[in-house]
Chains A and B, each alone.
Chain A
């Protein structure tokens, strides 16, 4: 995933000028939340804000783990008893698992340990022909990718770029080794999107309504099996969900309190300014380059459904919505757990409010606005009557869709300008990631 860039700067300078207008309703929303007023009374220290940030990450990754465990169980049930109801339940569990995971992505940029790890969990877009059968016509894969049609499920061994790999035993370790095989980041063998493909199948509807439609008989054992190799398909799905849990357990442990040898301990031992820089860098990078740019603007401007994030399940609107929520979580120091409890504490907002209350208010309003824009995308995609999914919004002729996506992009660009200003106010003199070049 590290290579697919569209290096066009978004309209930061221009948009900053256009920020001015905010409705009264949104201002009152901000006031009701009250954190700014509390901050005026007792401002936390930077160290307290960083510690609470670690608490947010711990809670968020813990939720990602528990929802992935539920997915794993649902998948086990599906494999044992491949019925329509069990397939539907597994899909529901996958959708639920995405809610906390997408919020964790704000921890990714800035914290190299998360960024280096996430490729095994959330890499996209994938050349799904590496994993399983694909339609004979119209399957688009990365130029020059030898693994794009390897079909691991159908073969006891695969050959990529002259190297033969034994894939007869589909274990979590094997899948981890196969991820990005041959040096292509489109060779995604693991993670949420591999599981998504195995549950939904290819979305062959282009810009039209409809997601992937894999028959449950792809998991039927014996004569009813469709598309062949149902036993290996089941083994693959089982191994992929097991690996997801291993990976999430590792990350939860990195953020767990009370240990002296994990990433949290390392982060808290750094200067608070260094950690605050990571927080802001994560917010800005996810808002602008990744979500507004890579995940929305590229897909919209090129009318490219191959660039849709959750392309098999048509759940892209939720992935975007919860990415946006993650950015707001870090700024406001709050996270609503999957059980409904709220984690709340010292925040960047408190720090900014102390030095520049106007800027804090502006940014909070902008976060409300970007969440409202993403909520519009979510609502339109989920309505019962003629829903407009993300892959329909980006169709060449969809003016309404383009307006919705552009609305979200503009809101995210606007808030990024304020995130930059906040960095300046907090004495962070460079937003260069301190891990720049770690990929080399």
Chain B
């Protein structure tokens, strides 16, 4: 119990000390955000380290129960990443770390092609092959491929084949190292974050962008709502592990835990408490819907009747998006800038 409390106090003290002359509220808001994200990164570190250990356990003694535990651990680690995925500023920007955690979408199956190269790499070179192999080999989608890909699992190289164990261990270790670096650098970043007023709006924009991506890329695109009528699960996250909607849920829960408290504080300062309440209720609605749905998206895409559930979710998330990206952004005077999703 001591550790989290001490961390929280430290954050507030540093936050206050960094900008003594400024109004207290904005610095506090950034301190709130900083602490929530720090907790999220700490969880990511714990879960990716557990993925490394579970890989070693399973590959050391490949029993069914260990295999299930490995699959479960990949899902938990992926959820921990989904929760912090909204943060698009600070240390996660450095060296393309966000892409290193998750290269997505991958319509041409680059993951599968890079995996076949990785599986031919001898033990001595595997760490280097992952470190230098580009973002497609470094993160959760590659680990997912090695654990869940149905074609791989039907062949000789299915886990616990030595080559696949070796590759998975290296990929998981790379993600764990990356997470540890994020945790440390996020602490170092605190001073710059709380001192620079621009981050007040950048943080709101990060949440806005995450909601845009959730609604338009992670739901509308696989649902066939983006310019064509073709439904395709391959445009969703985590289709190999059949965990696309669980990933959506984890991202929403991450936004609620990490982003919403600071947003609420800013809205209350702007006398928009009612709007803050509506946003909180919209998060609850969307999460409640997801609780009643499967964790995979494919069954809902394949069945017209079940598709209605997905449409309902899409509408709910669009309403949340409108409240945050439309009304809250206007109330706070946050202007949308360019981001990488402005291309086609």
Contacts and interface: CB of A to CB of B under 8 A. Distances in A.
Contacts of B93: 9, 11, 14
B338 A285 contact: yes
Contacts of B107: 3-4, 142-143, 186
A32 to B, nearest CB: 29
A140 B112 CA distance: 10
Contacts of B110: 302, 304, 306
A18 interface: no
A6 interface: yes
B202 interface: yes
Nearest to B318: A437
B67 to A, nearest CB: 25
A424 B335 contact: yes
A281 B228 CA distance: 24
B113 A140 contact: yes
Nearest to B234: A143
A303 B131 CA distance: 13
Interface in B196-249: 198-199, 202, 206, 209, 213, 217, 220-221, 224-230, 232-235
Interface stretch (B9-17, B42-50, B96-104): B96-104
A219 interface: no
A294 B225 contact: no
Interface stretch (A189-197, A234-242, A355-363, A427-435): A427-435
A149 to B, nearest CB: 14
B225 A185 contact: no
Given A6-B105, A125-B108, A420-B337, 15 more contacts: A2-B344, A3-B227, A5-B217, A5-B340, A144-B233, A183-B230, A184-B228, A285-B343, A286-B343, A288-B338, A293-B343, A297-B96, A304-B110, A306-B108, A424-B335
A401 to B, nearest CB: 13
Contacts of B225: 440
24 contacts: A2-B227, A3-B221, A5-B221, A5-B340, A6-B104, A9-B88, A10-B340, A11-B93, A12-B338, A109-B343, A143-B232, A144-B233, A180-B228, A185-B227, A288-B339, A290-B344, A291-B343, A293-B340, A301-B103, A304-B136, A306-B110, A396-B133, A416-B338, A440-B220
A302 B141 CA distance: 13
Contacts, number: 162
B224 A288 contact: no
A10 B96 CA distance: 9
Q: Binding site of A, secondary structure by majority: helix, strand, loop or mixed? A: loop
B213 A7 contact: yes
A3 B234 CA distance: 11
Contacts of A7: 209, 213, 217, 339-341
B88 A8 contact: yes
B135 interface: yes
Contacts of A301: 96, 99, 103, 134-135
B136 A303 contact: yes
Interface of B: 88-89, 93, 96, 98-99, 103-110, 113, 132-136, 198-199, 202, 206, 209, 213, 217, 220-221, 224-230, 232-235, 335-344
A104 to B, nearest CB: 14
A293 B96 CA distance: 12
A312 interface: no
> Taking each of B93, B108, B209, which has the highest tally of chain A beta carbons within 10 Å of its own beta carbon?
B108
Contacts of A303: 133-134, 136
B236 to A, nearest CB: 11
A4 B216 CA distance: 12
Contact of B335 (A186, A289, A431): A431
B134 A432 contact: no
Contacts of A297: 96
A82 interface: no
B89 A430 contact: no
Contacts of B339: 7, 9-10, 12, 288-289
A439 interface: yes
A347 B231 CA distance: 44
A419 to B, nearest CB: 7
A330 to B, nearest CB: 15
Contacts of A169: none
A175 B106 CA distance: 27
Contacts of A293: 340, 343
Contacts of B226: 2-3, 439-440
Contacts of B135: 301-302
Given A3-B226, A5-B217, A13-B198, A431 B338 contact: yes
Contacts of B206: 9
Nearest to B225: A440
Contacts of B99: 6, 8, 301-302
Nearest to A8: B98
Nearest to B341: A7
Contact of B343 (A144, A185, A290): A290
Given A143-B234, A301-B135, A12 B337 contact: yes
A289 B136 CA distance: 19
B343 A294 contact: yes
Interface in A288-341: 288-291, 293-294, 297, 301-304, 306-307
A432 B209 CA distance: 12
